Structure 1
């Protein structure tokens, strides 16, 4: 039950963020649920590879390069889904940071 609740809350947060943040556009709540699944798959498969490749830059920037990796994951998800669109890198960066912060808060509340 907790997994379904987290999934639905994350989809709702994603939908609201894409609706209200500038540069992010989503067609509906169904697309938000698909986006959550796609982001989860990309974070599980692609993000570790990007972290290993970008490790020297991450060390030099004291971890700030991880924000770039998160924005790249969001931009890849935007390219894969027709119902979700990001206007540029800055919009992807803002969206990924906001989604990470709000999702962390929801995870603390639900657990």
Structure 2
């Protein structure tokens, strides 16, 4: 349970960093970032595997580059359901999820590899 909460918190903080770095992604408040993080997790769990399966031929033809478009669609779809979270423009559509994954990976590695007792549970 604590691991899920830390992942949710890390994703919300990563969304705020994406909001600061990239002008096409806007998040109104921190609670909106938390809601967006939950919705992104749900979209990535349920809708992304279906989209990935449907776009497998395009992904094979483009040697995996079409997966950036699938990630962008999932990111944009999450913004439709999360109040206070908007994605505008084709660059935000592609680079928003990339920045989110880099920042989130950095935060998760930092919290999981730190020597604090909370991270070891």
TM-score by length of structure 2 reads 0.84
CA distance in 1, matches of 2:35, 2:69: 23
1:5 aligns with 2:6: yes
Q: Which has the higher helix share?
A: 1
TM-score by length of structure 1 reads 0.91
* Structure 2 unpaired stretches of 5+: 113-121
Superposition misfits of 4+ residues, deviation over 3 angstroms: none
Paired residues for 1:98-109 under 5 Å = 98-109=99-110
Which is higher, the Rg of structure 1 or of structure 2?
2
Task: Report the equivalent of 2:39.
Answer: 38
Deviation at 1:21, TM superposition (A): 1.1
1:73 aligns with 2:74: yes
CA distance in 2, matches of 1:89, 1:53: 22
Task: Report the equivalent of 1:25.
Answer: 26
Deviation at 1:10, TM superposition (A): 1.8
**SS of residue paired to 1:22:** coil
Q: CA RMSD in A?
A: 1.4
* Structure 1 unpaired stretches of 5+: none
